[in-house]
Each structure stands twice: as C-alpha cells, then as structure tokens.
Amino acid sequence: MALNSPLITKFDLSLFRIIPRTLVAPPLNLSYKISKPYKTATHFRQSIKAKAPSQEPIFRNLRNTAVVIVFAASMMVGKFQSLASRAENQPILTEEITSEDETKTLSSDAIETLTLLLDQKYEAGDYDECLRILKELISAQPERLTWKLLLAKVFKQMGETEKAFHVLDEVLSKNPIEPHALFENAVWMGFEGKEEEAIERLEKALKIAKERNNATEIRDVRLVIAQVKLVQKKPDEALKSFNELENEDPTDIRIVFFKGLLYYCTDRKAEATEQFDKYFELIPNAPPPGDDGYLTTFPKIRPPGI
C-alpha cells in the first residue's frame, strides 16, 4: 500500500499538507542506519523561514495544543468510551471477520487490487465496504499486521471505538510489545484522559522486552514511550528520551526524524532545520519502509511552510 494513499493520510495528518515523495518517515520497528555524513540542505533551511502568513493558524494550533507528534492528534473521532468498560470475554474481532474454514488464497495481483479499492472506499467514507474488503484481506493474510491496524482504524472512523480498541488488544495479546499497536493504544487512551494508565501499560511492555533480553525490542518500546510523552504534552521528557536513544545509537535515523518534529512543533525552527537537513540528506541511503510498517503513523509528509 502506498504510504501517501488516502487511507493512510486523510485523517491522520489533517494539520499537515501532504506532498508525496517528500519526507519518508521510517516505521517504528525498522532500524535505519546512517551510512554517511550529512550536508546542509540550504533550500530546506530557507523554506522553513519563508512560510506564508496564511499558514500561521496551523502553527498556532500546533503550539496551543502542544500535540507535537501532530499526525497522532487527529486519531480521535468523537469521545472515547471508558476503557474500563471493555469486557474480558469479548469475541476476538478479527476472528469474527474470518475463521480457519473461511481462509482463502488470493494472488498478489488480487491483493493489490483490493488494497487500491480499500483506499478508494475509505476516501469516500464507505466504511461498510472497507470492512468487507478487509475481511477478504485478513482471510488471505491473517498474520499481516497492516490489515489489523487498518481494521482498528476503520472501526474508529465508524464510531465503533470499543471494537477498535479490542482489535489492538488482540494484537497485543499475541505480542505485548508490538510497537505500532502499543503506540495507537496509548495515544487513544491519552485522548480519553487515561495518560497514566497508558504509560503504565508501556512500562509493562518495556519490562517484558527487558525480560526477553532483546536489545532491538527494548529500544523500539523506549522509542514508543518517548513519542507518547510527546503527544502527552511533555516535550522536555520526550527530548531527554530521544537524546538518550541517540547517544546509545547515533545511526538510528528514526531519532533524527522525531527530534526534527519535536523542534519544529515547539517553535525551535533553527534546530528543526538542522535535523530535517540531516534527515533529507540521509533518507535516500536508507532501505525503503517495510510494507508492514506503521502506516497509520508514518506516511510521506512535509510540514506546512516547508
């Protein structure tokens, strides 16, 4: 699925101007390594300084809400119901959509066609049809994370918040440290005033990662925690975490991206310019984002005025 498709970008980046092939952000669980020194991109620096007056309301909105990872801010649709009301014995929703005897085989061309159709139906707001298409895709590829994350997204847009949460719960029940589901779940919990509970769940996930003694998993969960703190209007704590991660592994290009967003959205434009100069220089040498990357969070974007 194209990272700049309507399904990915329409709702999650309402505060940004979407420009394909401009800025590719890496998935949460894919290590991007810096392979060469970077050079200053003068055109990028000048473009930040030359933002148009008509874009100022966007800047004010970013600062006033202090939602620094702004593409996560538009995830909320309506008022979320209490997480505490979710029953433990709810049916597994992706099993409702497909079962073993319904599993089908689709060709790669058929999957591509369904994916394009899914984009179109989502763009048109035809969520019932989106569910039908996702039923086929999940049946054909039941282990593919992308479809489950998109299923949660569609339920959310339909106002079926509990079902959306439960899909994420299903993912996390199988892998409690899956970074994409962890991030989605924590952000949604935060929007309904459960920030402390969200951090507690992330800390439990970090503990599990440490028990597994997997350095990559530990780092991925720490990165999720840093981002969630950013969304929770704690940029100083988030920056401290980003700096710690950067000091431990200066080759992780994900940190370059997130520090750039943090500086940009907290009105530290000179520092944002430096980070994005570095990112734009380095990203052509990074491997392409995985098809199962965190599509909800990382489309191709360019902040307004750039």
- Report pLDDT for 68: 32
Tell me the domain boundaries of the chain.
6-285
CATH-assigned architecture of domain 6-285: Alpha Horseshoe (1.25)
- 143-179 in b/e burial notation, b at 16+ Cβ within 10 A? eebbbbbbbbbbbbbbebbbbbbbbbbbbbeeebbbb
Q: What is the pLDDT of residues 28-62, one digit of tens each?
A: 554 444 444 444 344 444 444 444 333 333 333 33
- Report pLDDT for 209: 96
Question: For residues 228 and 199, is the Cβ–Cβ distance under 8 A?
Answer: yes
How many of the other CB atoms lie within 10 Å of CB of 274? 20
Answering whether pTM is above 0.85, one says: no
Question: For residues 93 and 135, is the Cβ–Cβ distance under 8 A?
Answer: no
pLDDT, averaged per 10 consecutive residues of the chain (306 residues), comes to 37 30 46 42 44 36 34 28 34 50 72 92 94 94 91 90 92 93 90 88 96 94 93 92 95 88 89 87 54 34 37
Residue 253 CA from chain centroid, whole number:
16
Dist CA 163 CA 171 (whole Å)? 13
With CA atoms as reference, report the closest residue to 149 among 296, 289, 26, 5: 296
Q: What is the pLDDT of residues 133-186, one digit of tens each?
A: 999 999 999 989 999 999 998 998 898 989 999 999 999 999 999 999 999 899
CA distances from 3 to 13, 28, 108, 139, 248 (A): 12, 14, 18, 23, 29
